[in-house]
Copies of this chain bind each other. A is one copy, B any other.
């Protein structure tokens, strides 16, 4: 029998308890040992819970109990999760977490401790909820060099964008609906401003390329500025707007990584990833494009991924899983100004009849796109591929002509 402690009895934590309880027989068969919950750590009281006798408010009780070999951290946030997880690893306990903030901020350090202590630190649930992605990337794709990763990594923003695209709902209304349905939190900033997606692409990039990527170093743009007009232009171009986290290694060895809304062609597998679903594309040099699709969040999808990691820990008390990456190095993340892409730009001509000609003279070979009910003084186009700084320079030059750019969205190639 293996004793497990669960730290945090929120949505995911209570899901983990349910999954372990409801699947106990098949889990024991797979792990070749019974998995037993010894403690549940939470500052709140749950006197009516069937697990009432397992609750504790004392982290030290868990830390000092040698019978506890696996600790599940599903509290979220960095404080006190980071201290708790670090202490558990140092005490020789394996840790499973769904906490993307923790892994994105402290992954390299915690993995190093796990390695030194010969225990496991697993976090399949931190990216893509119930979608298998961490393990397939580390194991199944081990014989590939990852050329690129691109993913719809946040279900809340994908739900909002889907509502805007399908039902022509304004951003604010779609956000309100997401909140009413429980998909978005009352303070939705982490989702709609792209920070959640950023943590996840950082974790995936670390796995793919072996170096930690700190979220602060990643250009991150949310979806708060996306309008129905942009959605209409994307449609007439032949695609949809999706919030994409993307990462690839450049020829100079630096990492190009960002989170941004993007025009995605309807030909792309990612374009049909709708509602709260996530989709992650991994482009391997040998295997080509692989896409993983499923619910990226939610109580039971996430909990089931956590519990699968617990089973893996039990199976690997002797042979530690080789999962790890180095800390970052200076200037590892390339300068966003140098990133090259094609952009969709929407401009107000302010009655300049030569506005389009001026845009052509500044951007080169542009592709004009139109929408229905397009005002006379508005035009939109797809620019040729240029560096981010070149695009910004051209936008400034347009502004000097009195032509205002009111939308700028990257055009995706995935």
**A interface residues (Cβ-Cβ under 8 A, vs B):** 19-20, 23, 26-27, 30-32, 124, 129-132, 135-136, 139-145, 269, 272, 284, 286-295, 298, 300-301, 303-308, 310-312, 315-316, 318-319, 322
B-side contacts of A136, CB under 8 Å: 132, 135-136, 140
B-side contacts of A304, CB under 8 Å: 141, 143-144, 284, 286-287
Q: Give the distance to chain B from A289, nearest Cβ to Cβ, in Å.
A: 6
Question: A293-B291, A322-B315 are known contacts. Are A130 and B300 too (CB-CB below 8 A)?
Answer: no
Q: State the CA gap A301–B146 with chains docked (Å).
A: 13
B315 touches A19 (CB 8 A): no
Greatest chain B CB density within 10 A among A135, A294, A316 is at A294
Closest residue of B by beta carbon distance from A298: B288
A132 touches B132 (CB 8 A): yes
For the complex of A and B, the 5 pairs showing the least CB-CB separation, nearest first, are: A132-B140, A130-B287, A143-B307, A286-B304, A132-B136
Question: A139-B312, A140-B308, A307-B142 are known contacts. Are A293 and B290 too (CB-CB below 8 A)?
Answer: yes
Closest residue of B by beta carbon distance from A140: B132
Q: State the CA gap A314–B295 with chains docked (Å).
A: 33
A294 touches B289 (CB 8 A): yes
A288 touches B294 (CB 8 A): yes
Q: Give the distance to chain B from A31, nearest Cβ to Cβ, in Å.
A: 8
Q: Give the distance to chain B from A13, nearest Cβ to Cβ, in Å.
A: 15
Question: A135-B136, A319-B316 are known contacts. Are A143 and B311 too (CB-CB below 8 A)?
Answer: yes
Q: State the CA gap A286–B334 with chains docked (Å).
A: 39
A287 touches B315 (CB 8 A): no
Q: List 19 A–B pairs whose Cβ atoms lie within 8 Å, in order of A's numbering.
A: A23-B143, A27-B142, A27-B143, A31-B142, A130-B290, A132-B141, A135-B140, A141-B308, A143-B307, A143-B310, A269-B293, A286-B301, A287-B295, A288-B301, A289-B293, A290-B292, A292-B293, A315-B319, A315-B322
B-side contacts of A298, CB under 8 Å: 288
Q: State the CA gap A289–B292 with chains docked (Å).
A: 11
Q: State the CA gap A142–B307 with chains docked (Å).
A: 8
Contact of A288 among B19, B26, B295, B308 (CB under 8 A): B295
B-side contacts of A287, CB under 8 Å: 129-131, 294-295, 300-301, 304-305
Greatest chain B CB density within 10 A among A143, A315, A322 is at A143
B-side contacts of A272, CB under 8 Å: 269, 272
A131 touches B290 (CB 8 A): yes
Q: State the CA gap A140–B291 with chains docked (Å).
A: 16
Q: State the CA gap A306–B303 with chains docked (Å).
A: 31
Closest residue of B by beta carbon distance from A129: B287
B-side contacts of A322, CB under 8 Å: 30, 32, 315
B135 touches A139 (CB 8 A): yes
Q: Give the distance to chain B from A376, nearest Cβ to Cβ, in Å.
A: 37
Q: State the CA gap A309–B300 with chains docked (Å).
A: 30
Question: A130-B290, A136-B132, A292-B290 are known contacts. Are A143 and B308 too (CB-CB below 8 A)?
Answer: yes
B-side contacts of A26, CB under 8 Å: 145
Q: State the CA gap A19–B26 with chains docked (Å).
A: 37
Closest residue of B by beta carbon distance from A290: B294
Question: A287-B294, A288-B301, A291-B293 are known contacts. Are A308 and B130 too (CB-CB below 8 A)?
Answer: no
B-side contacts of A132, CB under 8 Å: 132, 136, 139-141, 290
Q: State the CA gap A316–B315 with chains docked (Å).
A: 11
Q: Given known contacts A130-B287, A143-B308, A286-B300, what 4 new A-B pairs fall within 8 Å (CB)?
A: A132-B136, A139-B312, A144-B308, A292-B293
Q: State the CA gap A144–B311 with chains docked (Å).
A: 12
B286 touches A130 (CB 8 A): yes
Q: State the CA gap A77–B308 with chains docked (Å).
A: 34
Greatest chain B CB density within 10 A among A30, A287, A289 is at A287
B-side contacts of A140, CB under 8 Å: 124, 132, 135-136, 305, 308
